[in-house]
């Protein structure tokens, strides 16, 4: 019998909050950050720290760190990989400004970068402003939720990827406490 263990990423409360905060701070341009923590078993990771990249040139679909990879050094925690956000794109339809929703699915260029770099994991977060809250559909491979900064409601989805050696989605876990803030 062949048994394939799936990859799992547990995100502790503080880095989870940090990921949401940095995506909201950048909002309409891409945020990027480095993830630190430890590998507890084969393909099993715990994220204990996130460092949002401060010096970067950002656009809606890319962010270029201006300090190279200087922020990626292992200190109290091991370097695990990086995170970035996908933001809605604006488009003009019949003279009306419209938005195309952002998704956390990995793009072809994300895949190429991830396969090339040393990162063990990659988190992608998509943040969308919404007027209507819909029922959240939970999956082991995606964390979806709402944040409500400054009385505006944003829906986000977060997906984690690892290499096996192909790129696969990891099961994502957060605490019940973290989940209570995003439902
Ligand atoms: Zn991307």
93 pLDDT higher than 70: no
The residues with which 63 forms a beta bridge, in sequence order, are: 58
Question: For 102-148, what is each residue's pLDDT tens digit?
Answer: 999 999 999 999 999 999 999 999 999 999 999 988 899 999 999 99
How much is the pLDDT for 3?
Answer: 55
Residue 5 burial by CB count (10 A; 0-12/13-18/19+): exposed, middle or buried? exposed
How much is the pLDDT for 56?
Answer: 85
110 C-alpha to center of ligand 1: Å? 5
Q: How many structural domains compose the chain?
A: 1
165 C-alpha to center of ligand 1: Å? 19
Residue 49 inside a domain? The answer is yes
Residue 23 inside a domain? The answer is yes
82 C-alpha to center of ligand 1: Å? 11
3 C-alpha to center of ligand 1: Å? 31
Average of per-residue pLDDT across 42-68: 88
* Residue 143 contacts residue 181 (beta carbons within 8 Å): no
Question: For 3-14, what is each residue's pLDDT tens digit?
Answer: 568 999 999 999
Q: Which domain holds residue 119?
A: 8-182
* Residue 28 contacts residue 87 (beta carbons within 8 Å): yes
* Residue 6 contacts residue 171 (beta carbons within 8 Å): yes
Mean residue pLDDT of the chain comes to 91
Q: Would the pTM of this model clear 0.85, i.e. be above it?
A: yes
Residue 2 inside a domain? The answer is no
31 C-alpha to center of ligand 1: Å? 10
């Amino acid at each position: 019998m062949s048994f394939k263990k799936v990859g799992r990423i547990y995100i502790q409360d503080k880095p989870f909050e940090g990921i949401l905060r940095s995506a909201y701070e950048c909002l309409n341009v891409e945020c990027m950050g480095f993830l630190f923590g430890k590998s507890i078993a084969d393909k099993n990771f715990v994220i204990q720290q996130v460092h949002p990249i401060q010096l970067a040139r950002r656009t809606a679909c890319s962010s270029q760190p201006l300090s190279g990879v200087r922020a990626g050094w292992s200190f109290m925690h091991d370097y695990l990989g990086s995170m970035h956000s996908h933001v809605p794109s604006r488009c003009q339809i019949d003279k009306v400004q419209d938005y195309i929703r952002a998704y956390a699915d990995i793009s072809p260029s994300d895949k190429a970068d991830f396969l090339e770099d040393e990162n063990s994991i990659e988190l992608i977060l998509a943040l969308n402003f919404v007027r209507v809250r819909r029922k959240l559909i939970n999956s082991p491979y995606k964390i979806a939720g709402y944040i409500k900064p400054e009385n505006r409601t944003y829906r986000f989805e977060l997906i984690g990827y690892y290499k096996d050696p192909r790129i696969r989605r990891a099961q994502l876990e957060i605490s019940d406490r973290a989940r209570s803030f995003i439902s």
